[in-house]
C-alpha cells in the first residue's frame, strides 16, 4: 500500500487512526468529572501535538539516521514562522502559500547553515549549529527589527496590503487565517452525554500534513538514500576511505530536516499568525532533542510519541497545583493530607520540569531505545506470556 510493506503500512494506519480520532482519544473523562483536567482534546493543544510531531520527525531524519546532533534546529522553526506571517501580511490569509514559503525559505537557510556546519562533525558540529541558532535569535531579537519587529514579535495589522485578500473585514477587524475560505479557528463541538468533543479545522489540516510528513519519512528511511545515511552514522570515516563523498548525503539530510522544521513553523503561524524570536532560542532546539531521544531516536514513530509526551506534560501536568492535590487527598486526615501534598508539591505545577527530568533519566538508563523500546518490551512480554499459556505440556513416556 502506497509503496510500503505490510509493517510500515500498519504503522502508518496506526498513526492515522491516532491523529484523526484524537478528539475522542484525548478526552477520556467526562467534562464535569474531577479527572477532566487530564483531558487534552482541545484544539490548541492537539495542534501543538501534531506540529511538534512534524518538527521531531524532521529532526530524527538528521539525528536518527546520520547521528549528527544539531542544537540549532529552532532557527528553522523561527524562520518558517516569520516567512509565513510575512506571506499573510503581503499576499493573503490563505495558509497554503504561507506554508510553502516557510518550507522553501527554511530549506535555503538550512542549506547555508549546513554547508558551513557540516565541515565538522561530532561535538564541533553541534556547537556550530548552536552558534548559528543563537546568532539567528539575536538577529531576530534586536538587529533585524524592521523584518522581525524585535521583542514584540511579527504580527498582522490593518495596514497590511494583502494583495490577494482584504486588509480588514466588514466589521473592521483583522481577517483570520483560512484554507480557501475555511477558517483555521472554526471548531465544531459534539456533545455525547457528559463528554464534549471538539473538531477543529486547523487541527485536521495539521494532522493531514503530519500524515504526509510521516509517510515521506518512511520512504526516506527505507530508500537507498536512507541506507546511505545509516552507513554514515555507522562509520563515516570508513566510507570516506573507500572514496565515497558523504558530504552531499549529510547536507541533503540537513536540508530536509530544516524544511520539516520550517513546515512546523509555518503551521504554527497558520494556527496563530504571530512570530517571535523566542521560537529560535536554544531551549526550543533542546526540546526537540529531548522529544526525539525520549520517543526513540532512529525509529519512525518514536519522535511523534516523544513530542506528544513532552507537550502533554508542559500543558496538562504543569496545571496541577496544591488545590487540586488537596481535592484528591481530602479523604485523608488533615495532617496526613498536608504531608502528602508537601511531598508531591515540588514535582507538579511549576516543578513539572523536575518530573520530566526524572522520567527522561529513567528512560535513558533503562530504555535506551526510548518509549518505542518500552512498548516493544511490553509487547514481547505479553506475547511470551500468551505463548507460555498456549503451550501444552509434553507428556513423558515411562522408560522401559
Cell of 142: 534586536
- Tell me the C-alpha distance between 147 and 157, whole Å: 14
Cell of 29: 473523562
- Tell me the C-alpha distance between 212 and 19, whole Å: 12
- Strand 178-179 to strand 182-183: parallel, antiparallel, or no bridges (unpaired)? antiparallel
Query: Residue 393: its pLDDT value, please?
Result: 57
Residue with cell 511531598: 343
Cα dihedral 237/241/242/246 (nearest 10):
50
Cell of 76: 528553522
Cell of 208: 493531514
Query: Residue 391: its pLDDT value, please?
Result: 64
Query: Residue 398: its pLDDT value, please?
Result: 47
Q: DSSP secondary-structure letter at 1?
A: -
Q: Which residue spans within 127-212 are E strands per DSSP?
A: 154-155, 178-179, 182-183, 187-192, 195-200
Closest CA to 22 of 37, 44, 40, 48: 40
| Binned average pLDDT, 10 residues per bin, the chain of 400 residues | 83 92 90 82 91 95 92 93 94 93 96 93 91 92 89 88 85 88 90 89 95 95 92 84 87 96 94 88 88 89 91 84 82 86 85 85 85 85 76 50
Cα–chain center distance at 55:
5
Closest CA to 90 of 154, 145, 140, 185: 154
Phi first, then psi, for residue 320 (nearest 5°) are -70, 125
Please tell me the pTM assigned to this model.
0.91
What is the sign, positive or negative, of the torsion defined by CA atoms of 213, 219, 224, 227? positive
Query: Residue 260: its pLDDT value, please?
Result: 96
Give the residue extent of every domain in the chain: 6-282
Cβ(296)–Cβ(369) below 8 Å: yes
Q: Is 274 left (phi over 0), alpha (psi -120 to 50) or beta?
A: beta
Query: Residue 127: its pLDDT value, please?
Result: 93
- Tell me the C-alpha distance between 138 and 104, whole Å: 22
Amino acid at each position: 500500500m502506497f509503496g510500503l510493506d505490510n509493517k510500515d503500512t500498519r504503522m502508518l494506519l496506526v498513526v492515522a487512526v491516532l491523529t484523526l480520532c484524537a478528539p475522542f482519544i484525548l478526552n477520556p473523562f467526562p467534562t464535569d468529572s474531577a479527572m477532566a483536567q487530564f483531558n487534552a482534546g482541545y484544539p490548541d493543544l492537539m495542534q501543538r501535538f501534531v506540529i511538534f510531531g512534524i518538527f521531531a520527525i524532521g529532526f530524527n531524519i538528521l539525528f536518527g539516521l546520520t547521528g549528527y546532533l544539531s542544537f540549532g534546529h529552532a532557527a528553522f522553526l523561527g524562520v518558517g514562522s516569520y516567512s509565513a506571517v510575512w506571506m499573510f501580511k503581503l499576499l493573503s490569509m490563505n495558509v497554503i502559500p504561507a506554508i510553502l514559503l516557510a518550507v522553501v525559505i527554511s530549506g535555503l537557510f538550512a542549506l547555508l547553515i549546513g554547508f558551513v556546519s557540516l565541515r565538522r562533525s561530532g561535538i564541533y558540529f553541534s556547537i556550530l549549529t548552536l552558534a548559528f541558532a543563537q546568532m539567528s535569535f539575536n538577529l531576530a531579537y534586536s538587529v533585524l527589527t524592521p523584518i522581525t519587529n524585535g521583542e514584540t514579535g511579527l504580527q498582522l495589522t490593518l495596514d497590511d496590503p494583502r494583495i490577494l485578500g482584504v486588509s480588514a473585514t466588514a466589521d473592521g477587524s483583522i481577517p483570520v487565517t483560512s484554507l480557501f475560505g475555511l477558517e483555521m479557528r472554526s471548531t465544531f463541538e459534539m456533545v455525547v452525554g457528559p463528554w464534549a468533543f471538539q473538531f477543529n479545522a486547523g487541527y485536521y489540516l495539521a494532522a493531514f500534513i503530519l500524515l504526509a510528513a510521516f509517510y515521506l519519512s518512511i520512504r526516506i528511511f527505507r530508500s537507498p538514500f536512507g541506507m546511505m545515511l545509516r552507513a554514515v552514522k555507522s562509520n563515516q570515516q570508513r566510507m570516506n576511505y573507500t572514496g565515497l563523498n558523504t558530504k552531499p548525503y549529510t547536507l541533503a539530510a540537513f536540508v530536509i530536516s530544516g524544511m520539516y522544521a520550517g513546515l512546523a513553523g509555518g503551521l504554527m503561524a497558520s494556527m496563530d499568525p504571530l512570530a517571535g524570536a523566542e521560537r529560535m532560542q536554544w531551549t526550543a532546539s533542546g526540546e526537540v532533542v529531548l522529544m526525539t531521544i525520549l520517543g526513540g531516536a532512529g525509529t519512525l514513530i518514536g519522535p511523534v510519541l516523544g513530542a506528544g509526551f513532552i507537550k502533554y506534560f508542559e500543558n496538562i501536568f504543569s496545571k496541577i497545583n496544591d488545590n487540586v492535590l488537596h481535592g484528591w487527598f481530602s479523604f485523608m486526615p488533615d495532617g496526613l493530607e498536608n504531608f502528602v501534598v508537601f511531598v508531591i508539591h515540588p514535582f507538579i505545577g511549576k516543578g513539572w520540569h523536575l518530573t520530566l527530568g526524572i522520567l527522561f533519566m529513567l528512560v535513558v538508563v533503562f530504555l535506551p531505545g526510548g518509549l518505542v523500546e518500552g512498548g516493544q518490551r511490553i509487547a514481547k512480554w505479553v506475547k511470551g506470556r500468551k505463548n507460555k499459556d498456549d503451550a501444552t505440556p509434553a507428556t513423558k513416556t515411562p522408560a522401559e
